[in-house]
Structure 1
Amino acid sequence: MTVPQTATHIFQTSFGKIIALKENGVIKVKSIRYARSERFQKPVPEQPSPKELIFPDKTPVCPQVISQLVEKMIGVTNIDDFDPDEATQYLSVFRPEFITENEKLPVVVWIHGGSHEIGCGDLPTSDPSDWVKEQQIIVVTVSYRLGLFGFLGGDENRPPNLGLFDIIEALKWIKNYIPEFGGDAGNVTLLGQSSGGDAIAHLMISEGVEDLFQRVIIQSAPLGLRNKRQKMSAEFLRKTEPLKDETDVLKMMDEYRKSVPSVFKYGLKAAMPFGTQYGFPPLCKEEESLDRWKDSAGKYDVLIGLNNDETAFYLKTSEAINKYFGTGLGLKIMDKTVEKTTEFIYGNPARIFAENYAKAGGNVYLFRTHSGSQDYHIGAPHCIDLPLIFGNEQAWKSAEMLKDIPWTFIHENGKKLRALWAEFARNGCISDDSERPEIIKIQKITD
């Protein structure tokens, strides 16, 4: 294993003097605070400071309940590396060590997933260093408020969509300051997976985002769960009302989980009880959303898609379900359920989105990732695209999701995928002559 070669690097910016870490050809600026907020209040931009900005020993993270499924499938989270902070407005910048003078690099902004409930921008499994080095791009990772703090709400005391407002503030910071890191503020691509992709789709139709980004890459967005959420959100809000003034954030996390079963009656959408909410700033009314996306067709290049067996991540890894449906006829029923739920939550909505966008004159590509092997019993599930995009074998080596897949297969396909996504980030197009990974099918959608 290669021993990291580390040193420090100083950025003298108009935001402040920023101390960065230089490691194996990549400069990392970690955990810059881009805004601040009080509980259930909109974010306020962080002001420039004469002080030296040094990234903290621990990574700030929005208070959350650790997901046992994510721990099993992706890897164990070392909680000692993180510091809970309900005002989680931080971003990190990853830049190639060597760039030419006056060079402006394309900027990719990573919006993490996690059902609008868990995760953060800075996890070892989403360290973009491999991508930054290979493709000579800048990647900015964004943390924002989640769950009770960012994606519930519904009244004056607890406004919804605060997580979206956080991301918008991050994008404003990037537009203002990324040129001082060598980035092109006029060439910004938003990249999001799962709920991060859902957030990006809704940023496209949000107020206050003019000229903040030019392209979007939406991976595995659960757009099939976006409609008719009002009653569920209102009930969940009422159930969690007693927690709004709780000072112990960890107690809040323990207590709100007790209210989740109360929304199971709302069906599949209850799998994601937190989310973006129409009819509240910065979003339009739900019935206006399709027209708003059509109106945005001239503004943004779009690359949208999914993995072929998204819901296998949840269904085929459940010991309780596999007890009855793991073999024979039960397995056939399981396979059909994965197929149907994948299409309902991810596949059909992505296709319809792409077709509507193309009809409105938009530049849009649709992709689908496959497993590439019949021997892999859960196929190409939710999150399988993450090691392809980010690489980092060390971070992924214990992932149950990859136990049957040689890392050489991940690396070879991932390197090609990273090149394709970087090509799109540079110019909004993917050439017919560009090399494709064997596990992905991608097409330009035309009217």
Structure 2
Amino acid sequence: MTAQQNIGTHTFHTSFGKILALKENGVIKAKSIRYARSERFQRPVPLESVEHEEILDKTPACPQNINPILERLIGKTDINQFQPEESTQFLTITRPENFNENENLPVVVWIHGGSYEIGCGDLPISDPSAWVREQNIIVVSVSYRLGFFGFLGGNENRPANLGLFDIIEAIKWIKNNIHGFGGNPENITLFGQSSGGDAIAHLMISEGIENLFHRVIIQSAPLGFRHKRYKMSSDFFSKTEFLKDETDVLKITEKYVKFLPSVMKYGLKSSMPFCLQYGYAPLCKEEESLQKWKENAKKYDVLIGLNNDETALYIKTARQGIYAYLHHKILDKIVRKTTELIYEKPANIFAENYAKGDGNIYCFKIHPIVKNKIGASHCIDLPLIFENESAWISSELLKDIPWKYIHENGKKLRSLWAEFARTGKISDDSERPEILELRKV
């Protein structure tokens, strides 16, 4: 575990304003910069200048319900470190401490996952400090509206896809302002995991994103959940209509949960009740999506992939319900089938379609680090990219995996992902971790 040292402050003088940042352990971190504001169920309005020059005591996060399963498997959330904020348009910039003022560093924009319902840009489990130090890049972590506030719409009074509009506004801010932090606005890579990866895939075919970014890294996107969601979204939308004027945001998150069992009839996709919605701005109709990805294939370099045992996170760790009583061989088969259905086949279809449009695309798969009960499940990629031992120390996801294996494999993976972010390519000569399967499509 790295000891904290050399703590201090740094002031960025930018066209957006004077921004105070923390200097610690070889990086400079400008935290919780507000890039826009929004009223409930309204599109974000960009800010023209910084609203304050202070470092916030608590991290703003969209109101949400803590997921006890993920807390057990990934890490406990200290809710005292976060401040519920309905207008949650914030970003954090992490850059190397030692830099030349004239440098133009590649910029990676982190879009967090969490089923479009939980999480925020600033979590200890996605601290990019190690990656920034090693690879001399800038990482911008974005927070956006979630759940009821960002991804459950259906009419002009409660529009769909508001969280996606937040992300677009964040990328515009980065494009316009990152030069003041030493970043290259002509070398921006969007990087997302799970629903964050799904959001990025759809940003590639959204309106209003021309020339905002240049390549994408999509990890563990549940693209198999994107199809035929209209009835479920419409049902959930109508059942929560009575909450739209509730002033207490925490009551809203408590109450909508009661209606989640009612959408179970829609099958596997009901495990992600909040999502992007086709046919509403800034997205096309669902039946147009594959063709639009193909048409846009020459615009963006793509690195897309998954973990070998994605659904094991939920199926093999269940302590109640039917999964708790099944033999491990049966569980293995369920994990394989559901991983293929939700993650692997949709990613391969995406890649083949993209390649037919002459797009530059790589596919990857992460295999188990060591033999353990869960395998290479959903989220196993996070500690590899965002190496932060103290944040993962109590995680059941990494149980029986010595940290040295995380470190050794993670360092090589971070190098490859940074190479892609710089150039859009991964050389055949670049060292690969043993757990990684990688191919150019």
Query: TM-score normalised to the size of structure 1?
Result: 0.97
How far the C-alpha of 1:55 sits from its partner, in A, is 2.3
Distance in 2, Cα, partners of 1:261 & 1:55 = 41
How many residue pairs match? The answer is: 439
What residue number does 1:359 align with? 356
What residue number does 1:403 align with? 399
The one-letter code sitting in structure 2 at the alignment partner of 1:382 is: H
2:419 equivalent among 375, 400, 423 = 423
What residue number does 2:249 align with? 249
What residue number does 2:213 align with? 213
Is the Cα contact below 8 Å between 2:4 and 2:24 reproduced in 1?
no
Distance in 1, Cα, partners of 2:136 & 2:40 = 39
What residue number does 1:384 align with? 380
In structure 2, do the counterparts of structure 1 residues 322 and 283 end up closer, same or farther at CA, with 3 Å as the change threshold? closer
Deviations 1:375-421 (A, max 9, x none): x1111000000000000111111111111100000000000000000
Q: Secondary structure at the match of 1:19?
A: strand
Distance in 2, Cα, partners of 1:24 & 1:262 = 48
Q: Secondary structure at the match of 2:297?
A: helix
Distance in 1, Cα, partners of 2:101 & 2:30 = 20
Q: Secondary structure at the match of 2:53?
A: strand
Distance in 2, Cα, partners of 1:385 & 1:323 = 25
What residue number does 1:369 align with? 366
1:346 equivalent among 334, 337, 343 = 343
What residue number does 1:113 align with? 113
Is the Cα contact below 8 Å between 2:60 and 2:90 reproduced in 1?
yes
Instruction: Give the RMSD, CA atoms, in angstroms.
Output: 0.9
In structure 2, do the counterparts of structure 1 residues 159 and 440 end up closer, same or farther at CA, with 3 Å as the change threshold? same
Q: Secondary structure at the match of 1:175?
A: helix
Q: Secondary structure at the match of 2:33?
A: strand
What residue number does 1:95 align with? 95
How far the C-alpha of 1:323 sits from its partner, in A, is 3.3
Query: TM-score normalised to the size of structure 2?
Result: 0.98
Distance in 2, Cα, partners of 1:261 & 1:319 = 19
Matched, 1:441 2:441: no
Residues 236-315 of structure 1: pairs in structure 2 closer than 5 A:
236-315=236-315
Is the Cα contact below 8 Å between 1:19 and 1:52 reproduced in 2?
no
Is the Cα contact below 8 Å between 1:116 and 1:275 reproduced in 2?
yes
Is the Cα contact below 8 Å between 1:30 and 1:91 reproduced in 2?
yes
Distance in 2, Cα, partners of 1:358 & 1:3 = 45
After TM superposition, the runs of 4+ consecutive aligned structure 1 residues lying more than 3 A away are none
Matched, 1:41 2:42: yes
Distance in 2, Cα, partners of 1:142 & 1:223 = 21
Is the Cα contact below 8 Å between 2:384 and 2:411 reproduced in 1?
yes
Gaps of 5+ in 2: none
How far the C-alpha of 1:25 sits from its partner, in A, is 1.1
How far the C-alpha of 1:322 sits from its partner, in A, is 4.7
Q: Secondary structure at the match of 2:185?
A: strand
Distance in 1, Cα, partners of 2:248 & 2:5 = 38
Distance in 2, Cα, partners of 1:213 & 1:396 = 31
Gaps of 5+ in 1: none
What residue number does 2:28 align with? 27
How far the C-alpha of 1:52 sits from its partner, in A, is 4.7
The one-letter code sitting in structure 1 at the alignment partner of 2:127 is: D
